[in-house]
């Protein structure tokens, strides 16, 4: 299991027969303009998505949870929201909105799927849908600033109480952002628990079963605690 910083969860000082302590990190998102021109219509959106960096794609699909935006109950990714609200193309919005970005092995694969959906839609339409001036799609990206909280989890029975007290930034970093860092696409909590063989297999499975598509970080915290219930009694 890779342990290098920036690759997966951070563990330190393993003692024989014990899991190494889990290092709780926190993070904060700093959003900036990507430098790409805004897209005013669906074709421009397609061309910009084809050309944008993976960080831009990652931001508009994955980092929306950490951003100050309304907890849109319809769609989690910015492209679907824009198609619905500003292109008034509900068909495309539904097709983009159901995409689960965590289900793709790579951002390249996700990008190809998005482009395929837009190309398909462009073929169906006689007119390219266009947003009003001021309603263009603005491409953003972000830097995730990560810092050590100084806190450690030394035993799996401490995991749920620790999650209860974590910031949204910690939850995002360890459960969502980790999937991009880890070659196996796994969250940090599961990676850590698997370090103790199959003892916590049930909990790892429960963590993997959480449906991420409609979650705010507050809801996600509640689901994590449900998935890890009874762990404290395992000793």
Partner 1 sequence: MNAPIAAYEGILGSSVVTQLRRLGGKLRGIRVVHVNSTREGGGVAEILDWMTFLMCDLGLDASWEVIHGTQRFFEITKAIHNGLQGKPVTLSKKDWRIYQDVNEQNAENLRASLEAADIVVIHDPQPAYLLKLCPNRKGKWIWRGHIDFSRPFGPVWKMIRSYVEKYDASIFSMSEFAQPLPHPQFLIPPSIDPLSEKNRDIDPAELETVRAEYRLDPERPLLVQVSRFDRFKDPVGVIRAYRMVRKVAPVQLVLAGGGATDDPEGKAVVEEVLEEADKDPDIHVLLLPPDAHKTINALQRLSDIVLQKSTREGFGLTVTEGMWKGKPVIGGDVGGIRLQVVNHHTGFLVNTPEGAAHRIRYLLHHRNRIKEMGEVAREFVRENFLLTRHLRDYLTLFLTIRSGRNERILYV
Give the CA distances from residue 178 to residues 83, 170, 171, in Å, rounded to whole numbers and listed in that order: 29, 11, 10
Q: Which is nearer to partner 1, 24 or 118 (CB)?
A: 24
Encoding tokens for residue 30? 């700093």
> Considering only residues 19, 21, 26, 188, which one is a binding residue for partner 1 as defined by CB under 8 A?
26
Task: Please identify, using beta-carbon distances, which residue of 89 and 200 lies nearer to partner 1.
Answer: 89
| Residue whose pair of structure tokens reads 């939850």 in the numeric block | 171
**3-class secondary structure, 88:** coil
Number of Cβ atoms within 10 Å of the Cβ of 26: 20
Closest by alpha carbon to 9, among 170, 155, 178? 178
Does residue 138 bind partner 1 (CB under 8 A)? yes
Q: Is residue 69 a contact point for partner 1 (CB under 8 A)?
A: yes
Residue 100 CB, shortest distance to partner 1, in Å, is 22
Options 26-34, 103-111, 118-126, 223-231: segment touching partner 1 (CB under 8 A): 26-34
Q: Work out which of 1, 29, 113, 122 binds partner 1, going by CB under 8 A.
A: 29
Q: In angstroms, rounded to a whole number, what is the distance separating the alpha carbons of residues 47 and 67?
A: 25
- How far is residue 86's CA from residue 129's CA, in Å, rounded to a whole number? 9
Rule CB under 8 A: is residue 77 a binding residue for partner 1?
no
CA distance 75 to 207: 22
What is the closest distance, in whole angstroms, from the C-beta atom of residue 62 to partner 1 in the complex? 11
Q: Which residues bind partner 1 (CB under 8 A)?
A: 5-6, 26, 28-33, 55, 58, 68-72, 133-134, 136, 138, 140-147, 149-150, 165-167, 169, 181, 218
């Amino acid at each position: 299991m890779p342990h290098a910083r920036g690759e997966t969860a951070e563990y330190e000082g393993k003692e024989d027969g014990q899991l190494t302590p889990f290092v709780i990190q926190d993070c904060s998102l700093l959003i900036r303009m990507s430098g790409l021109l805004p897209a005013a219509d669906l074709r421009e959106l397609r061309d910009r998505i084809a050309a944008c960096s993976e960080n831009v794609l990652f931001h508009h699909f994955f980092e929306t949870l950490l951003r100050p935006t309304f907890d849109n109950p319809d769609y989690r990714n910015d492209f679907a929201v824009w198609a619905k609200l500003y292109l008034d193309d509900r068909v495309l919005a539904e097709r983009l909105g159901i995409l689960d970005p965590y289900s793709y092995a790579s951002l390249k694969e996700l990008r190809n799927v998005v482009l395929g959906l837009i190309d398909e839609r462009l073929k169906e339409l006689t007119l390219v849908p266009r947003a009003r001036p001021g309603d263009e799609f603005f491409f953003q990206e972000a830097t995730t600033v990560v810092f050590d909280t100084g806190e450690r989890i030394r035993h799996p029975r401490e995991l749920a109480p620790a999650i209860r007290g974590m910031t949204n930034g910690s939850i995002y970093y360890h459960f969502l952002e980790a999937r991009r860092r880890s070659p196996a696409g796994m969250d940090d909590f599961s990676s850590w628990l698997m370090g103790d063989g199959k003892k916590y297999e049930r909990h790892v499975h429960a963590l993997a079963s959480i449906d991420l598509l409609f979650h705010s970080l507050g809801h996600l915290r509640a689901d994590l605690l449900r998935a890890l219930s009874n762990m404290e009694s395992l000793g």
